């Protein structure tokens, strides 16, 4: 089953992260691990990542968004973390910021892939308008995907609801979709209109998915089996 799955380790608890990694091992699906701000900013988070096996695929979800020089310096500060494969940046940071991030990333690790983050999956049309956007989610994501492609980013992070649209623009780029839930699970803080099942995400054109609480809450081993079954 050649599908890329990133399990979101959204916790600052090292023991829980070790448990997630230990219980999600499978020969049937390709598992990587996504670490966001909560874990990276924790007391032992960065140290843990630096010691992780190079056999594990690490997705560092920092969603960089600042002035170009600051982002370039932030990238440089990650040069000791040689085992990171993916790093995220907000596309709304603009062309110059994204260009600097891409350029800086190649200086520290030629294999590091930069993914551009579009509209977050918890956003609705109404919440987008509240921060001043006049475009619909769909049109904004299309605009952002075109910008990311022009910069030469390696991939896009978007809702599976927009994955088909993004795939038409970014044909040779990776498309990573968060906001994934196993059928029947609570969507919690995600927007109900932008959450899909793992199979639907891949059917819509995703090259990889990010799935968190559907796997990490409850019995992790059983949840992994549910995931495998859902993808058949």
Please report how the helices 14-23 and 220-230 are oriented relative to each other, as an axis angle in degrees rounded to 10.
50
pLDDT tens-digit series, residues 210-232? 999 999 999 999 999 999 999 98
- Predicted confidence at residue 197, as pLDDT, reads 92
Task: Specify the pLDDT at position 188.
Answer: 59
CA dihedral 136, 139, 142, 148 (to 10 degrees): -60
Q: What is the pLDDT of residue 1?
A: 47
What does the DSSP assignment read for 32-98? EEEE-HHHHTSTTHHHHHHHS-TTS-EEEEEEE-S-HHHHHHHHHTTTT-TTEEEEEEEGGG-HHHH
Please give the biggest Cα pair distance in the chain: 46
pLDDT tens for each residue of 64-103: 999 999 999 999 999 999 899 999 999 999 999 999 999 9
* DSSP strand pairing (4-8 vs 155-157): unpaired
Domain ranges in the chain are: 4-230
Q: How far apart are CA 103 and CA 171, in angstroms?
A: 22
- Per the CB < 8 A criterion, the answer to whether 146 and 169 are in contact is yes
> Which positions are annotated as active-site residues?
63
Q: Which structure tokens are listed for 25?
A: 């091992």
Distance CA 31, CA 22 (A): 11
* Cβ neighbours for 16, distance < 8 A, ≥ 6 positions apart: 9, 216
**Which residues of the chain, if any, have pLDDT below 70?**
1-2, 186-194
CATH number for 4-230: choose from 3.90.230.10, 3.20.20.70, 3.30.530.20, 3.80.30.20.
3.20.20.70
């Amino acid at each position: 089953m050649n599908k890329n799955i990133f399990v979101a380790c959204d916790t600052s608890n090292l023991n829980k992260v070790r448990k997630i990694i230990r219980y999600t091992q499978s020969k049937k699906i390709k598992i990587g691990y996504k670490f966001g701000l909560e874990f990276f900013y924790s007391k032992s988070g960065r140290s843990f990542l630096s010691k992780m096996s190079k056999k594990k695929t690490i997705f560092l979800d920092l969603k960089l968004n600042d002035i170009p020089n600051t982002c370039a310096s932030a990238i440089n500060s990650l040069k000791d973390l040689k085992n990171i494969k993916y790093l995220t940046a907000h596309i709304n940071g603009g062309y110059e910021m994204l260009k600097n991030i891409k350029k800086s990333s190649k200086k520290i690790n030629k294999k590091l892939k930069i993914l551009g983050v579009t509209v977050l999956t918890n956003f609705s049309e109404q919440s987008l308008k509240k921060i001043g956007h006049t475009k619909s989610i769909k049109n904004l994501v299309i605009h952002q995907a075109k910008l990311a492609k022009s910069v030469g980013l390696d991939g896009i992070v978007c809702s599976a609801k927009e994955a088909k649209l993004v795939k038409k623009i970014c044909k040779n780029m990776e498309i990573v979709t968060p906001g994934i839930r196993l059928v029947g699970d609570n969507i919690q803080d995600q927007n109900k209109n932008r959450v899909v099942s793992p199979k639907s995400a891949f059917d819509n054109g995703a090259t990889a998915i990010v799935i968190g609480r559907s796997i990490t809450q409850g019995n992790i081993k059983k949840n992994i089996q549910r995931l495998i079954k859902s993808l058949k």
